[in-house]
Homo-oligomer: A and B are copies of this chain.
Amino acid sequence: MNFKTLKEQAYEANMEIPTQHLAIYTFGNVSAIDRQAGVMAIKPSGVPYAQLKVEDMVLVDLDNEVVEGRFRPSSDTKTHTLLYRHFASIGGICHTHSTYAVAWAQALLPIPNLGTTHADHLIPAVPITEVMSDEMIQGDYEHETGLQILQAFEKQNLSPQEVEMVLVACHGPFTWGKDAAKAVYNAGVLEELAKMAYLTRQLNPSIGEIKQSLKDKHFLRKHGTGAYYGQEGYGG
């Protein structure tokens, strides 16, 4: 079994975090999963991006057991594995502390859909979890963080294929996608949406969401069978 490609994908995606200015120092982490093997490659905990190497990626199975690696995996490992177990279609997960997304998470507010940049990527507001109870926090915290995300999607009847991002209340964003590259791409999109929505509400506090028809139009330009944005077989 050769996980070299998986580790490379995880490494490349992790390095996008500082490149796109989505977190400082050691903050944030990305994982990539090999669904057949049931193994993910994830950033080691607390290693600065400037020192990170492909071989530092830690291999962990979906029971949170380290399969290979000289480093301890990200402290958020259990959140990643829970999401992989429940969101069967996803191939990569990204967690950042990007500034504007964190601000919305700390303000305990979902990010409203105020324009077509948002609608190009998702139709609803970026959802936000409930604030965790003391019991959850003092219990299996990172596992509970994942459960909060699942609960937010269930309560609002959201699909993880149509909504690839969430804010964990008081904390910050998690994003995902078909692979690790798409997961971190979504983290960059989310930060931009968060900044645009921040500025819009400062300019006009009473502005509401855009109309349903416009949301649908932009989302379906880029997603699904009628999509006509981008190139076939070209990502995007």
> Is A174 engaged at the interface, CB distance under 8 Å to the other chain?
no
Closest Cβ of chain B to A73, distance in Å, is 10
Which one, A59-67, A79-87, A105-113, A149-157, is touching chain B? A105-113
Contact with B along A190-210 (1 / 0, CB 8 A): 001001111111111001001
By a CB distance below 8 angstroms, the chain B residues around A203 are 103-104, 107, 109, 198, 201
Given contacts A24-B192, A27-B117, A132-B214, 4 further A-B contacts (CB under 8 A): A25-B188, A46-B235, A75-B228, A117-B172
In Å, the complex CA distance between A75 and B44 comes to 40
Judge if A230 is at the interface, Cβ distance under 8 Å.
Answer: yes
Nearest CB on B from A197, distance (A)? 8
Contact of A199 among B20, B24, B99, B236 (CB under 8 A): B99
Q: Would you call A230 and B46 a contact (CB within 8 A)?
A: yes
For A105, the chain B residues whose CB sits under 8 A away are 115
With contacts A72-B231, A102-B115, A230-B45 taken as known, whether A207 is within 8 angstroms of B107 at the C-beta atoms is yes
